[in-house]
Amino acid sequence: MIENIVYMELLFRGNRVAVGNVDGNEIDFVTFDTDKRHYYQVTSDLHQE
């Protein structure tokens, strides 16, 4: 449910949102500016792998 809230907020702010993959690990959200990418990993527990 937290991921859905973050996704909706990113859309509300006018971002183009995608799911990413870095070195075989899923990144929850990637947003794009004209020359930059921003990566978002959403979690409720930082001790999880």
Question: What pLDDT does residue 48 have?
Answer: 59
Those residues with Cβ within 8 angstroms of residue 41's Cβ, 6 or more apart along the chain or in another chain:
27, 28
Question: What pLDDT does residue 47 have?
Answer: 76
Entry pTM: 0.74
Per the DSSP assignment, residues forming a β-bridge with 27 are 20
What's the domain range around 34?
A: 2-40
How large is the average pLDDT for residues 43-48?
Answer: 76
* Phi, psi of 35, rounded to the nearest 5 degrees: -135, 10
Per-residue pLDDT reduced to its tens digit, 18-45: 988 888 888 899 998 888 889 998 888 7
Residue 45 lies in a domain: no
Residue 32 lies in a domain: yes
Helix, strand, or coil (residue 28)? strand
Residue 28 lies in a domain: yes
User: Domains in the chain: how many in total?
Assistant: 1
Please check whether residue 14 is in contact with residue 38, taking contact to mean a CB–CB distance below 8 angstroms. no
Identity of the residue numbered 9: E
